[in-house]
Structure 1
Amino acid sequence: MSENTPLLVVDDLAVSFGPVQAVKGVSFTLAKGETLALVGESGSGKSVTALSILQLLPYPRATHPRGSIRLDGAELVGAPEPALRKVRGGRIAMVFQEPMTSLNPLHSIEAQVGEVLELHLGLRGSTLRDRVVELLSLVGIPEPEKRLGALPHELSGGQRQRVMIAMALAGEPDILIADEPTTALDVTIQAQILALLKGLQARLGMALLFITHDLGIVRKMADRVCVMNAGEIVESGPLPQVFDAPAHPYTQRLLAAEPKGKPHRAGEGEPVVMAARDLKVWFPLKAGLWRKTVGHVKAVDGISLDLKRGHTIGVVGESGSGKTTLGLALLRLLDSDGEISFGGTRIESMSAGTLRPLRRQMQMVFQDPYGSLSPRMSVGQIVGEGLEVHEPAMHAAERDRLIAAALEEVGLDPATRDRYPHEFSGGQRQRIAIARALVLKPKFIVLDEPTSALDVSVQAQIVDLLRDLQARHALAYLFISHDLRVVRALADDLLVMKDGKVVEAGRADELFKAPRTAYTRALMAAAFDLEVA
């Protein structure tokens, strides 16, 4: 292969799922050592295109009515399975967006990373084990020797994604396809992973096909960009050309869609809705035959806060810093020590029965709307479930009216309330989760990473929606996120957490301009000045 010959050629590729054409005549090339970014909203055909390269689509339901995919001149479309097995994980490896669905829940991390090394490099015994440890260390798993026996559910989301990256790199592939590889990662870990990928790319001459909705990553990683919409590449070219002078209206709209604007400003004299003093959540560590407590994981360690009506406190920090635990403790969904006050009433010692009438005023929107919405219930049933619990005597017609009003308020057609969650996009499912919280007319909502898995254009819509709802209903938000750009657009005040403690707190605009601690500065640098060496 000459220096100018592309490593991978995708030519006029089409993918059909029955009568639905998901990819329509896509063409691009990928050279050795090059990074090509595929960008576009959910449903644009990015992942289907990537899966086609490895011939991993669900055949025979998916077909290629036309097109060609060639690796070093060898055709992959319709290639025999033995040939494809050598390519998958060997010549071309893939990192998937959701590691929990890609990792075997019954096999240890060592077994899963080691399987790739055994199949493609023939490693065995202590050499195999040493290489597994080396790979886990490379992708940032702390004390990898101690995590070899861990099962996937025993790792955090970010750690599971790092294991997936280690598996992909194990075979030292010529091409790495990364499908939203940093979605679940903190900004600092994200920067480390991107720097790692860049370093490995330089060392191995590896080509990267990068699929992401994070345009900030694209700016730092890509040499060339292909913008996809409705199964077609609507614009492509070198990064500066596409990002600095976009020609297609869709590209222009996508680049303009990042979360913007300023937080809704309520009056400083508003009453405190939720308060905590010296809040602690310690999980015991047990060991020995009698399972004695030998220490504690201090998930939340002595945190105090005051959240006023109509205000937002943003909570930021890396995975494991205690952000979600703090939110769950404030809602009394976890046992804790310290004082918790809601509307001036102490609730930390209330029994479940006494607390129940207050529950409707304290709601939560979870990170993964698909996981938190029952697939067996219609959208109307999901949104109305809280009304059935808290207003059992309410007439069915009135309940239906409130459900329709809540859906309409979050920008969904009330006529869709008889449909099920799988029939909606990710952004629409997140709107359903917000409607479920709103229908009870709460005063306080914990928003736990509500935009992390969404396209940048949908993120902007959800941020605008949350601001609008807060202005209309004077809602108090505890907004938990690792995306500091979204936090900056929503939060009045900021709590920066590390290892269960608040390392810095204050007005959000002041901390974004002049962070005081090294940890906060590192978070800000990773989010806004992402450097990949």
Structure 2
Amino acid sequence: MTDTPLLSVRDLSVAFRQAGADTLAVDRVSFDIAKGETLALVGESGSGKSVTALSVLKLLPYPAAHHPSGEVLFKGRDLVRATEDDMRRVRGDDITMVFQEPMTSLNPLHPIERQIGEILSLHKGLTGRAARTRTLELLDLVGIRNAESRLDAYPHQLSGGQRQRVMIAMALANEPELLIVDEPTTALDVTVQAQILKLLQELQARLGMAMLFITHDLGIVRKIADRVCVMLKGRIVEEGAVEDVFRDPRHAYTQRLLAAEPKGRPEPVPEGAPVVVEAGPVKVWFPIKRGFFQRTVDHVKAVDGVSIRVREGETVGVVGESGSGKTTLGLAILRLISSQGPIVFLGNRIDSLKANAIRPLRKTMQVVFQDPYGSLSPRMSIADIVAEGLLVQQRGLSYPERRRIVARALEDVGLDPAAMDRYPHEFSGGQRQRVAIARAMALEPQFVMLDEPTSALDMSVQAQIVDLLRELQRRRRLAYMFISHDLKVVRALANHVIVMQNGQVVEEGAAEDIFARPRTDYTRALFAAAFNLEAADAGVVRE
């Protein structure tokens, strides 16, 4: 590192103009990044982290967005006042960005080779064999196994970790001096998260580049960053070396962030609590068909002989990496996909029931999905979203009666019933997840499948949702199946834990026993990745 900053942001403000009025998203932010240094921008959703980063590359929706003040100096040159032609040369050559969600950043219609090759053609003039050779070098650099066989793959044919590696390969194609990384591990399970962080550190050391790392996860900051800036409502409220800020946080907001990890343990399940759901051994096999006649040549064994039992007032945590079969198992138990094997709900076999026969049971078994942004219809008001199940399951209710039930459900999850006529885009991520929980609770279910309900949320909001779920369970004696790769949240909620790998159970038992004394190497590797953020293997872990 040198004394002269590679990037210097000075007194930068960003405002968005709507209906003739300005809303300030970033307010007089200043920071420096030296060559080879990693600076982390942390804070909750809406704090201005990503807007600040997008300002560096002028990727905001101008002219709706504008800069009332400030400058962004890259090697002494002000990018705020640079022309669009100048910025095209800066983007990709000098500064590149890895976005949060690779599935929306990669083009679903083009194979991987074409997407990386396009960058090499535009910025380096490489085509044909030269472009293919460089593409293979990049894929090998980021740890893609059997890179040549992946060239014709489309994004949907890759795992989440592989897609993120492809995004990093594209960002490194022109060996930039500054890499901006925006929440690169939010949607990844803990082992892949650890691999991606290790990969970024190794690439940074090899290429000597600087990094601006944006995240809401302070555990990641401690692992990867040299310095940290904490943002709140568009301003930097604390800045310093990572160890100094973690050891002695000065600002009350930083102190709250550091203390926001889900805490506590679930209440014990009473002796003799009735069984709500008992299933297994459950199998969900998807056929692999080939040839002109599409004959079945093999099966993908997504769930292969898994058994589970959930009692009243109990939370059973199902953990494992992406692709381990967690969600498939949950969908099979809810009879949302076909499966083989007995499934008993409230004492009755439901695995052979037709759709019409199982419909009346839907109100007693509900699901809360992972993404609060994608699971709520943007065209429906909150009242209509929460009442949707009531229209199907309790058709005799009058409009005022439905409104009363919706109001009560919103109150139960800590939302103001007066806001029920607003739309999802008017709520934060945490509030949207509360709406999704209210939709499930409005029908007064006895069993709820929670599929990664906190993975897209900030740490402080995660803690709030965990407390909410625990309180609802205590009051209503709910049975939860909690699917997650976030083991800190599982530890705070689950009484019993099932660890899945490749469609099978590799370990299960009381949560306290599993967390204190994991028996299998796979479970130990999961815990090491979750609590230490270190990959089990040395070097670049390949996928």
For the aligned pair, the TM-score class normalised by the smaller chain equals: over 0.9
**1:492 aligns to what?**
495
Report how far residue 137 of structure 1 moved: 4.0
Provide the secondary structure at the position in 2 that maps to 1:49. Answer: helix
Report how far residue 101 of structure 1 moved: 2.4
**2:10 aligns to what?**
11
Match of 1:434 among 411, 432, 437: 437
**2:378 aligns to what?**
375
Question: Alpha-carbon deviations, 1:452-490, whole Å to 9, x = none?
Answer: 111100000001101111111111111111111111111
Contact kept in structure 2, 1:281 and 1:298, CA below 8 Å: yes
Following the alignment from structure 2 to structure 1, what is the Cα–Cα distance between the partners of residues 526 and 269?
27
**1:81 aligns to what?**
84
Where do 5+ consecutive residues of structure 1 fail to align? none
Match of 1:27 among 25, 30, 40: 30
Following the alignment from structure 1 to structure 2, what is the Cα–Cα distance between the partners of residues 145 and 273?
49
Following the alignment from structure 1 to structure 2, what is the Cα–Cα distance between the partners of residues 166 and 272?
49
Equivalent runs, 1:78-477 vs 2, <5 Å: 78-477=81-480
Question: Alpha-carbon deviations, 1:200-243, whole Å to 9, x = none?
Answer: 10011111111111111011111101000000000000011111
Q: Which amino acid aligns with 1:58?
A: P
Following the alignment from structure 1 to structure 2, what is the Cα–Cα distance between the partners of residues 147 and 367?
28
**TM-aligned CA distance change 1:340 to 1:137, over 3 Å:** farther
Question: Alpha-carbon deviations, 1:89-136, whole Å to 9, x = none?
Answer: 221111111222222222112211222222223332233223323433
Following the alignment from structure 1 to structure 2, what is the Cα–Cα distance between the partners of residues 501 and 93?
40
Contact kept in structure 1, 2:108 and 2:154, CA below 8 Å: yes
Q: What is the aligned-residue RMSD (CA, Å)?
A: 1.4
Q: Which amino acid aligns with 2:147?
A: P
Provide the secondary structure at the position in 2 that maps to 1:188. Answer: helix
Following the alignment from structure 1 to structure 2, what is the Cα–Cα distance between the partners of residues 145 and 501?
31
Following the alignment from structure 1 to structure 2, what is the Cα–Cα distance between the partners of residues 270 and 123?
67
Where do 5+ consecutive residues of structure 2 fail to align? none
Q: Which amino acid aligns with 1:481?
A: S
Following the alignment from structure 2 to structure 1, what is the Cα–Cα distance between the partners of residues 175 and 277?
52
Following the alignment from structure 2 to structure 1, what is the Cα–Cα distance between the partners of residues 487 and 252?
27
Following the alignment from structure 1 to structure 2, what is the Cα–Cα distance between the partners of residues 12 and 243?
25
Contact kept in structure 2, 1:158 and 1:319, CA below 8 Å: no
**TM-aligned CA distance change 1:387 to 1:498, over 3 Å:** same
Q: Which amino acid aligns with 2:493?
A: L
Q: Which amino acid aligns with 1:100?
A: M
Following the alignment from structure 1 to structure 2, what is the Cα–Cα distance between the partners of residues 289 and 182?
40
Following the alignment from structure 1 to structure 2, what is the Cα–Cα distance between the partners of residues 143 and 35?
30
**TM-aligned CA distance change 1:130 to 1:273, over 3 Å:** farther
**TM-aligned CA distance change 1:140 to 1:449, over 3 Å:** farther
Report how far residue 278 of structure 1 moved: 1.3
**2:63 aligns to what?**
60
**2:481 aligns to what?**
478
Q: What is the aligned residue count?
A: 532
Moved over 6 A (4+): none
**1:37 aligns to what?**
40
Question: Normalized against structure 2, the TM-score is what?
Answer: 0.96
Question: Normalized against structure 1, the TM-score is what?
Answer: 0.97
Q: Tell me whether 339-348 or 147-156 shows the greater mean CA deviation.
A: 147-156
**TM-aligned CA distance change 1:24 to 1:521, over 3 Å:** same
Provide the secondary structure at the position in 2 that maps to 1:36. Answer: strand
Question: Alpha-carbon deviations, 1:327-358, whole Å to 9, x = none?
Answer: 11110001001111111111000011111111
1:517 aligns with 2:503: no
Provide the secondary structure at the position in 2 that maps to 1:24. Answer: strand
Following the alignment from structure 2 to structure 1, what is the Cα–Cα distance between the partners of residues 143 and 463?
31
Q: Tell me whether 272-281 or 2-11 shows the greater mean CA deviation.
A: 2-11
**TM-aligned CA distance change 1:268 to 1:159, over 3 Å:** farther
Report how far residue 492 of structure 1 moved: 0.8
Contact kept in structure 2, 1:257 and 1:460, CA below 8 Å: yes
Provide the secondary structure at the position in 1 that maps to 2:378. Answer: coil
Report how far residue 142 of structure 1 moved: 4.4
Report how far residue 163 of structure 1 moved: 2.1
Question: Alpha-carbon deviations, 1:46-82, whole Å to 9, x = none?
Answer: 0000000001010000001110101111110020112
Provide the secondary structure at the position in 2 that maps to 1:88. Answer: helix
Contact kept in structure 1, 2:161 and 2:196, CA below 8 Å: no
**TM-aligned CA distance change 1:105 to 1:433, over 3 Å:** same
